[in-house]
A and B are shown apart, each in its own frame.
Chain A
Amino acid sequence: MATDMTNWQLIKNGIFAENTIFKLAISLCPAIAVTNSVKNGFFMGVAVLAVQTLVNGTVGALRNYIHPRIRIPIFMLIISGWVSVIDMTMAAFVRDVYREVGLYIELIVAFASILAHAETFASKNKTVPSIFDGIGMGTGFLVALVIISFFRELLGKGTVWNFPIVHFKPMLIMILPTGGFIAVGFLIGFFNWIEMRFFGGKGATSGGGHH
């Protein structure tokens, strides 16, 4: 069941049609936890992008040597190995960000989207399309995180990437935990509205997938 999409289509698919957060509504935990500033959101997105690409590439390269009966534990090993690598890299090079998002970087292991794509895409396709699929899904996640954190930081602190932009009394609520839920809820609603209004779709699937 190899894919017939070109590499560019795979990337676009990951960003728009199958956007992890806005469309599939999975792997939401970090989308809210680390988006109180653009910097945190950006680095978290980069970590996910790296893991997703590396895992997909590895699985795509090794898919003929993995016995189907034990593939899930093998995928978990590959994923947790790469996450450990990224985790230590982040801890070494971006210390200030890592102090805030470290736990969530470690928890990339449990991402539904990464295991799902190793299982449904990379184990059935050649290495190169798998890598591009990983890049697409990862970039979709990165874009979503940056959008959410941009609104939250701008409204909550009046800054973007710690540069002051506007001077007004900031809405502190946006960088509190509550603001994360509100921002994501309103953005999902907004994208649904755009889709209904201009593209005649029926909006995102309701209720989110399981884990």
Chain B
Amino acid sequence: MGEFSKLFELFLAASLINNFVFTRFLGLCIFFGVSKKMETAVGMSVTFTAVMVISAALSWLIWTYAMVPLGLQFLKIVVFIGVVAAFVQASDTILRKISPGLYYKLGVYLALIATNCIILAVPLINAGEHYSFLESLAFGLGSGLGFALALIIMASIRERLELAQVPRPFRGTAMAFVTAALIALAFTGFSGLITL
């Protein structure tokens, strides 16, 4: 089996089979919080995917070249959250300087990302699974796109739900959960597609 097909398998597994929202249950707060409107969902997806890939790369470099040689693996939680927060803060500043238009569109989401379980999960899983650099990148990209897919499906359904006759106790959060359950049921069909 070639190197490329292995990466592709990892990418597919991360995005569809072990979808971050529907099978791993990460980033749910964001998922239910910003999936009310299509526009915000798309903005969030773009920002998230970019941040996930870059933070996967950054944390892999720090993990492999600084923490493992020095035997500091037990500090991974402290270090990774520091790396992610610093990177998000830096990209916030850089984006504001370089492209005010894009910052105006996506700056809101950057502020929400800094401490978020889904962003932090990627470096932690990469470190736990001992992925190589390219595998980490494929995993980050797959997870990001899987999250984007989940957000966009959910947003398109919830825009219709606005007009539906939902029983009063179920309005809002409860109905969103039941909707997510039905999507998760559909995603269960992907399990066993690739046996890793």
A interface with B by C-beta (< 8 Å): 25-30, 32-33, 73, 76-77, 80-81, 83-84, 87-88, 103, 106-107, 109-112, 115, 173, 176-182, 184-186, 188-190, 192-193, 196, 203-211
Instruction: Give the residues in chain B near A186, CB-CB below 8 Å.
Output: 174, 178
Report the minimum CB–CB distance from B159 to chain A (whole Å).
Answer: 13
Kindly state the interface size class of chain B when it binds its partner.
Answer: 35 or more
Report the minimum CB–CB distance from A125 to chain B (whole Å).
Answer: 22
Residues 68 to 113 of chain B near chain A (Cβ within 8 Å): 74-75, 77-78, 81-82, 85, 112
A sample of 9 cross-chain residue pairs with beta-carbon separation below 8 angstroms, ordered by A number, consists of A30-B25, A103-B128, A107-B121, A181-B177, A181-B180, A181-B181, A185-B180, A188-B174, A188-B177
Complex Cα distance, B33 from A29, in Å, reads 13
Complex Cα distance, B177 from A28, in Å, reads 11
Chain B's closest residue to A188 (CB) is: B174
Interface presence of B193 (CB below 8 A): no
With beta carbons under 8 angstroms apart, the residue of A27, A76, A103, A188 that contacts B173 is A188
Q: Is the CB of B34 within 8 A of A84?
A: no
Chain B's closest residue to A196 (CB) is: B169
Q: Is the CB of B77 within 8 A of A80?
A: yes
Complex Cα distance, B173 from A177, in Å, reads 18
Given contacts A28-B28, A106-B120, 11 further A-B contacts (CB under 8 A): A25-B173, A29-B29, A80-B77, A84-B74, A110-B117, A189-B174, A189-B175, A205-B172, A205-B173, A206-B171, A208-B176
With beta carbons under 8 angstroms apart, the residue of A73, A193, A207, A209 that contacts B176 is A207
Q: Is the CB of A181 within 8 A of B178?
A: yes
Q: When A and B form their complex, what is the total count of cross-chain residue pairs whose Cβ atoms lie within 8 Å?
A: 150
Which residue, B28, B167, B180, B182, has most C-beta atoms of chain A within 10 A?
B28
Q: Is the CB of A210 within 8 A of B28?
A: no
Interface presence of B46 (CB below 8 A): no
Residues 140 to 196 of chain B near chain A (Cβ within 8 Å): 167-178, 180-182, 184-185, 187-188
Chain B's closest residue to A27 (CB) is: B29
Which 10 interchain pairs have the tightest Cβ spacing? A206-B172, A185-B177, A181-B181, A33-B25, A189-B174, A193-B169, A192-B169, A110-B117, A185-B178, A188-B174
> If the complex has contacts A83-B77, A103-B121, are A209 and B29 also in contact, measured as CB distance less than 8 A?
yes
Residues 15 to 70 of chain B near chain A (Cβ within 8 Å): 22-30, 32-34, 36
Q: Is the CB of B85 within 8 A of A76?
A: yes
Instruction: Give the residues in chain B near A180, CB-CB below 8 Å.
Output: 25, 181
Report the minimum CB–CB distance from B67 to chain A (whole Å).
Answer: 13
Q: Is the CB of B77 within 8 A of A106?
A: yes
Report the minimum CB–CB distance from B102 to chain A (whole Å).
Answer: 21
Which residue, B74, B78, B172, B181, has most C-beta atoms of chain A within 10 A?
B181
